[in-house]
Chain A
Amino acid sequence: SQQGEEDPQALSIQEGENATMNCSYKTSINNLQWYRQNSGRGLVHLILIRSNEREKHSGRLRVTLDTSKKSSSLLITASRAADTASYFCATATLGGNNRKLIWGLGTSLAVNP
Protein backbone atom coordinates (compact mmCIF):
# COMPACT_ATOMS: atom_id res chain seq x y z
CA SER A 1 0.00 0.00 0.00
CA GLN A 2 1.28 3.47 -0.83
CA GLN A 3 1.29 5.97 1.98
CA GLY A 4 3.72 8.60 0.86
CA GLU A 5 2.64 11.07 -1.73
CA GLU A 6 5.22 13.32 -3.28
CA ASP A 7 4.42 16.56 -4.98
CA PRO A 8 4.94 17.83 -7.46
CA GLN A 9 4.92 14.75 -9.66
CA ALA A 10 7.33 16.48 -12.01
CA LEU A 11 9.56 19.50 -11.67
CA SER A 12 11.72 21.24 -14.25
CA ILE A 13 14.24 23.90 -13.26
CA GLN A 14 17.40 25.58 -14.51
CA GLU A 15 20.84 24.72 -13.26
CA GLY A 16 21.71 26.76 -10.21
CA GLU A 17 18.12 27.05 -8.99
CA ASN A 18 16.82 25.37 -5.88
CA ALA A 19 14.45 22.43 -6.11
CA THR A 20 11.88 21.65 -3.46
CA MET A 21 9.78 18.53 -3.36
CA ASN A 22 7.32 17.45 -0.74
CA CYS A 23 6.13 14.21 0.78
CA SER A 24 2.97 13.66 2.77
CA TYR A 25 2.11 10.55 4.70
CA LYS A 26 -0.87 9.24 6.59
CA THR A 27 0.20 7.42 9.75
CA SER A 28 2.65 8.18 12.55
CA ILE A 29 6.19 7.27 11.69
CA ASN A 30 9.50 6.20 13.21
CA ASN A 31 11.51 7.77 10.45
CA LEU A 32 11.31 9.07 6.91
CA GLN A 33 13.90 8.53 4.21
CA TRP A 34 14.59 10.10 0.84
CA TYR A 35 16.05 8.19 -2.09
CA ARG A 36 17.16 9.17 -5.58
CA GLN A 37 16.79 7.07 -8.70
CA ASN A 38 18.56 7.82 -11.93
CA SER A 39 16.75 6.67 -15.04
CA GLY A 40 16.57 2.90 -15.31
CA ARG A 41 18.76 2.30 -12.27
CA GLY A 42 18.37 1.30 -8.66
CA LEU A 43 17.64 3.73 -5.86
CA VAL A 44 20.28 5.45 -3.78
CA HIS A 45 19.69 6.48 -0.18
CA LEU A 46 20.08 10.21 0.40
CA ILE A 47 19.05 11.01 3.95
CA LEU A 48 17.07 9.70 6.91
CA ILE A 49 15.23 11.88 9.39
CA ARG A 50 13.80 10.48 12.59
CA SER A 51 10.41 11.42 13.97
CA ASN A 52 11.96 13.49 16.77
CA GLU A 53 14.04 15.55 14.36
CA ARG A 54 12.80 18.62 12.53
CA GLU A 55 15.59 19.33 10.08
CA LYS A 56 18.61 17.62 8.69
CA HIS A 57 21.33 18.60 6.25
CA SER A 58 23.64 16.65 4.00
CA GLY A 59 25.75 18.65 1.57
CA ARG A 60 23.34 20.51 -0.74
CA LEU A 61 20.36 18.63 0.67
CA ARG A 62 18.09 19.89 3.39
CA VAL A 63 15.23 17.80 4.72
CA THR A 64 12.53 19.03 7.04
CA LEU A 65 9.91 17.02 8.87
CA ASP A 66 6.64 18.31 10.30
CA THR A 67 5.00 15.45 12.15
CA SER A 68 1.96 17.57 13.04
CA LYS A 69 1.22 17.97 9.32
CA LYS A 70 2.56 14.54 8.44
CA SER A 71 4.78 16.01 5.79
CA SER A 72 8.41 16.34 4.79
CA SER A 73 10.25 18.40 2.24
CA LEU A 74 13.50 17.85 0.40
CA LEU A 75 15.37 20.93 -0.76
CA ILE A 76 18.24 20.64 -3.21
CA THR A 77 20.19 23.88 -3.36
CA ALA A 78 22.19 25.13 -6.35
CA SER A 79 20.98 22.27 -8.51
CA ARG A 80 23.15 20.66 -11.17
CA ALA A 81 22.30 18.72 -14.31
CA ALA A 82 23.51 15.59 -12.48
CA ASP A 83 20.65 16.03 -9.99
CA THR A 84 18.22 15.05 -12.75
CA ALA A 85 16.51 11.97 -11.33
CA SER A 86 13.38 10.76 -9.58
CA TYR A 87 13.17 11.32 -5.85
CA PHE A 88 11.19 9.07 -3.51
CA CYS A 89 10.24 9.31 0.10
CA ALA A 90 9.77 6.21 2.23
CA THR A 91 8.36 5.96 5.72
CA ALA A 92 8.71 3.44 8.52
CA THR A 93 5.42 3.32 10.40
CA LEU A 94 5.43 3.83 14.17
CA GLY A 95 4.80 0.50 15.84
CA GLY A 96 5.16 -1.27 12.55
CA ASN A 97 7.91 -3.36 11.09
CA ASN A 98 10.71 -1.02 10.07
CA ARG A 99 11.65 -3.47 7.41
CA LYS A 100 8.44 -2.71 5.53
CA LEU A 101 8.92 0.81 4.29
CA ILE A 102 6.00 2.56 2.64
CA TRP A 103 6.94 4.35 -0.55
CA GLY A 104 5.64 7.37 -2.38
CA LEU A 105 5.30 7.50 -6.14
CA GLY A 106 8.15 9.94 -6.57
CA THR A 107 8.94 13.35 -7.98
CA SER A 108 10.67 13.48 -11.34
CA LEU A 109 13.20 16.32 -11.37
CA ALA A 110 14.74 17.68 -14.55
CA VAL A 111 17.60 20.16 -14.19
CA ASN A 112 18.28 21.93 -17.45
CA PRO A 113 21.81 23.13 -18.20
Chain B
Amino acid sequence: DVKVTQSSRYLVKRTGEKVFLECVQDMDHENMFWYRQDPGLGLRLIYFSYDVKMKEKGDIPEGYSVSREKKERFSLILESASTNQTSMYLCASASGGSSGANVLTFGAGSRLTVL
Protein backbone atom coordinates (compact mmCIF):
# COMPACT_ATOMS: atom_id res chain seq x y z
CA ASP B 1 0.00 0.00 0.00
CA VAL B 2 1.65 3.19 -1.18
CA LYS B 3 1.87 5.94 1.30
CA VAL B 4 3.17 9.20 2.60
CA THR B 5 4.32 9.04 6.21
CA GLN B 6 4.63 12.06 8.46
CA SER B 7 6.81 11.45 11.45
CA SER B 8 4.66 13.08 14.10
CA ARG B 9 0.89 13.29 14.39
CA TYR B 10 0.93 15.76 17.28
CA LEU B 11 3.66 18.10 18.48
CA VAL B 12 3.73 20.75 21.17
CA LYS B 13 6.60 23.22 21.04
CA ARG B 14 7.52 26.46 22.71
CA THR B 15 7.96 29.82 21.03
CA GLY B 16 11.45 30.16 19.63
CA GLU B 17 12.16 26.45 19.35
CA LYS B 18 13.41 24.94 16.12
CA VAL B 19 10.92 22.44 14.75
CA PHE B 20 11.47 19.69 12.21
CA LEU B 21 8.58 18.02 10.44
CA GLU B 22 9.59 14.97 8.47
CA CYS B 23 7.82 13.37 5.55
CA VAL B 24 8.70 10.19 3.69
CA GLN B 25 7.05 8.72 0.60
CA ASP B 26 7.54 5.28 -0.90
CA MET B 27 6.16 5.91 -4.38
CA ASP B 28 9.32 7.24 -6.05
CA HIS B 29 7.48 10.52 -6.72
CA GLU B 30 9.44 13.46 -8.05
CA ASN B 31 7.27 16.09 -6.42
CA MET B 32 6.71 16.69 -2.74
CA PHE B 33 4.74 19.42 -1.01
CA TRP B 34 4.17 21.00 2.36
CA TYR B 35 0.84 22.65 3.09
CA ARG B 36 -0.66 24.14 6.17
CA GLN B 37 -4.37 23.99 6.84
CA ASP B 38 -6.22 26.46 9.02
CA PRO B 39 -9.96 26.86 9.62
CA GLY B 40 -11.45 29.33 7.19
CA LEU B 41 -8.24 29.59 5.17
CA GLY B 42 -8.13 26.18 3.56
CA LEU B 43 -4.91 24.63 2.30
CA ARG B 44 -2.02 26.98 1.67
CA LEU B 45 1.15 25.84 -0.03
CA ILE B 46 4.32 26.57 1.93
CA TYR B 47 7.01 24.98 -0.26
CA PHE B 48 7.31 22.27 -2.82
CA SER B 49 10.16 20.31 -4.34
CA TYR B 50 10.31 18.84 -7.83
CA ASP B 51 13.63 17.03 -7.46
CA VAL B 52 16.33 16.26 -4.96
CA LYS B 53 17.85 19.47 -3.60
CA MET B 54 15.38 21.54 -5.63
CA LYS B 55 12.70 23.63 -4.01
CA GLU B 56 10.27 26.37 -4.83
CA LYS B 57 8.39 28.75 -2.62
CA GLY B 58 4.68 28.38 -2.36
CA ASP B 59 2.23 31.03 -1.24
CA ILE B 60 3.34 31.39 2.38
CA PRO B 61 7.06 30.49 2.72
CA GLU B 62 7.89 33.12 5.34
CA GLY B 63 9.13 31.60 8.57
CA TYR B 64 9.74 28.19 6.99
CA SER B 65 12.51 26.39 5.18
CA VAL B 66 12.70 22.95 3.60
CA SER B 67 15.24 20.28 2.85
CA ARG B 68 15.20 17.51 0.30
CA GLU B 69 18.46 15.56 0.42
CA LYS B 70 16.90 12.29 -0.75
CA LYS B 71 14.09 11.70 -3.20
CA GLU B 72 11.85 10.03 -0.66
CA ARG B 73 12.22 12.55 2.15
CA PHE B 74 11.05 16.15 2.42
CA SER B 75 11.53 18.06 5.65
CA LEU B 76 9.85 21.24 6.79
CA ILE B 77 11.80 23.38 9.24
CA LEU B 78 10.54 26.14 11.46
CA GLU B 79 13.71 27.96 12.46
CA SER B 80 12.07 29.78 15.37
CA ALA B 81 8.53 28.67 16.02
CA SER B 82 5.91 31.30 16.72
CA THR B 83 2.37 30.98 17.98
CA ASN B 84 0.95 31.94 14.57
CA GLN B 85 2.51 28.77 13.19
CA THR B 86 0.15 26.65 15.24
CA SER B 87 -1.60 24.68 12.53
CA MET B 88 -2.17 21.35 10.81
CA TYR B 89 0.71 20.60 8.45
CA LEU B 90 0.11 18.30 5.53
CA CYS B 91 2.75 16.67 3.39
CA ALA B 92 1.93 15.34 -0.06
CA SER B 93 3.69 13.80 -3.01
CA ALA B 94 2.89 13.46 -6.70
CA SER B 95 4.42 12.08 -9.86
CA GLY B 96 4.42 14.07 -13.07
CA GLY B 97 6.07 17.25 -14.21
CA SER B 98 4.85 20.82 -14.38
CA SER B 99 2.67 20.04 -17.38
CA GLY B 100 1.29 16.74 -16.20
CA ALA B 101 -1.71 16.12 -13.99
CA ASN B 102 -0.49 16.15 -10.44
CA VAL B 103 -2.64 13.93 -8.29
CA LEU B 104 -1.53 14.34 -4.71
CA THR B 105 -1.13 11.60 -2.14
CA PHE B 106 -1.28 13.08 1.33
CA GLY B 107 0.11 12.03 4.66
CA ALA B 108 -2.09 11.90 7.74
CA GLY B 109 -1.02 15.35 8.89
CA SER B 110 0.98 16.78 11.78
CA ARG B 111 -0.87 19.00 14.22
CA LEU B 112 1.59 21.49 15.68
CA THR B 113 0.82 23.62 18.70
CA VAL B 114 3.25 26.41 19.57
CA LEU B 115 2.88 27.75 23.11
Q: Which residues of A contact B (CB under 8 A)?
A: 1-2, 30-31, 33, 35, 40-45, 48, 50, 88, 92, 97-101, 103-106
Contact = CB atoms under 8 A, between A and B. Distances in A.
Interface of B: 4, 31, 33, 40-43, 45, 48, 50, 56, 58-59, 88, 90, 92, 94, 96-109, 111
Contacts of A50: 101
Nearest to A95: B99
A40 B109 contact: yes
Given A42-B90, A106-B42, A97 B98 contact: yes
Given A1-B59, A42-B90, A44-B106, A103 B43 contact: yes
Contacts of A40: 88, 109, 111
B42 A100 contact: no
Nearest to A44: B106
B94 to A, nearest CB: 7
A103 B102 contact: no
B101 A31 contact: yes
A42 B101 contact: no
